[in-house]
Every structure is written in structure tokens, then in C-alpha cells.
Amino acid sequence: MPRNLLITLFLLLLGPAAQAAVTYQTPAEFLDFAFAGTPPEPQVVWLTGERKQIVEQILGHPYASLRVRYWRAGKRSAWILEEIGKELPITVGVAVDDHAIAAIRVLVFRESRGWEIRHGFFTDQFRDARLNADKQLDRHIDGISGATLSVRAMKKLARLALYLDAATRQDDVTPTP
């Protein structure tokens, strides 16, 4: 059997494991975008007590970390968050301005399917979305056939960013050294 054919068969058998992470935008690039080239110093919010419980309700599971780093200047905040799509984390940047989503971007996508969520036709639906009293988005977000779990992850992260933005406006926070 020719060597190229063996390599091709091997890669096909690996399937999703052969899929490498694709970086569409670095966190630094996202922060430059969110704050017009002048990002503020990062701050940290701790996920404890009631806040931890609400985060678990939004995600349907505990967040992977006990603290979340974010950036705030005036009424605008930026969040770089991760959520599992099907099997691997999707890294997303969310800019919140005056309690509404100003922009949401897929920064790093690691799954073998669902990458279509990075396109504007999908992410533009989140613009100006807010949380309602039930901590749900105030609008319907159309899904993408074949990307159900990635769409679900994006909606959860949008809700999480909006919730944490509101929570940190009420609390004192710890600046990152």
C-alpha cells in the first residue's frame, strides 16, 4: 500500500482528534477591538456564594475556574470565556456595553464541527441582546444545522458575560497584579 494512502487512512481514523485548534483572533486582538486599541488593566471577579450558584444555573454545570478575569472602562466591559461545545472548549470574547452585548467573537475553536458560529451571520444576532429577569437572553437566537452544541455554548457564554457584567457593577473587585 502506498505510503500516502496509509497516512490518509490513519488521519481519517483519528477523526476529530486530528483537528487542531483554530485561532481566529487572539485575546489581545479582541481586547484592542473592544476598547479601540486601549484596553484597561484586567480585574478579577470571584465565583463564590450566590454568584457561583447563578453561574452554575446559566451554564448547567460549575464554571471551570473559581475566578474570571475581565476588563472594564466606563460602561464597557470585555470577557474572555470558555465553554465546552461537544467535547472541547470554545474560547469566546464578549464585549458588553451598558448592559447589552456590543460584540461577541469566537477567538479559538477546537471542535471538528460547528465552526460556522464564528461568522457574522450568526454572531450579529447577539448585538444589543440583554438579560431578562430570568437570566435568559431577551431575544431568540437562530441555530445552525449541524452546530447545535456550539450554538448552545455561545448562548450560554453570552448570558454569562451579561450576568457577570451586571454583578461586577454592584461589587468591589480585585485588580489583577
pLDDT reported for residue 19: 55
Q: Are the C-beta atoms of 92 and 101 separated by less than 8 Å?
A: no
d(CA 118, CA 165): 22
In degrees and rounded to multiples of 5, residue 40 shows phi and psi of -75, 175
Which structural domain, as residue segments, surrounds residue 97?
A: 22-171
Tell me how far apart the alpha carbons of residues 132 and 55 are, in angstroms, rounded to a whole number.
15
Return mean pLDDT, the chain. Answer: 88
Residue 11 lies in a domain: no
For residue 12, being part of any structural domain is answered with no
Please list, in sequence order, all residues whose beta carbon lies within 8 angstroms of the beta carbon of residue 71, skipping any fewer than 6 positions away.
Answer: 31, 34, 35, 39, 40, 41, 42, 43, 77, 78
Residue 14 domain-assigned (yes or no): no
- How many domains does one find in the chain? 1
In a domain, 3, yes or no: no
Does some domain include residue 65? yes
Question: Containing H/E element for 76?
Answer: strand 76-84
On whether residue 160 sits in a domain, the answer given is: yes
Q: Is residue 15 part of a domain?
A: no
Q: Note the pLDDT tens digit of each residue in 121-168.
A: 999 999 999 999 999 999 999 989 889 999 999 999 999 999 999 999
Residue 127 lies inside a defined structural domain of this protein? yes
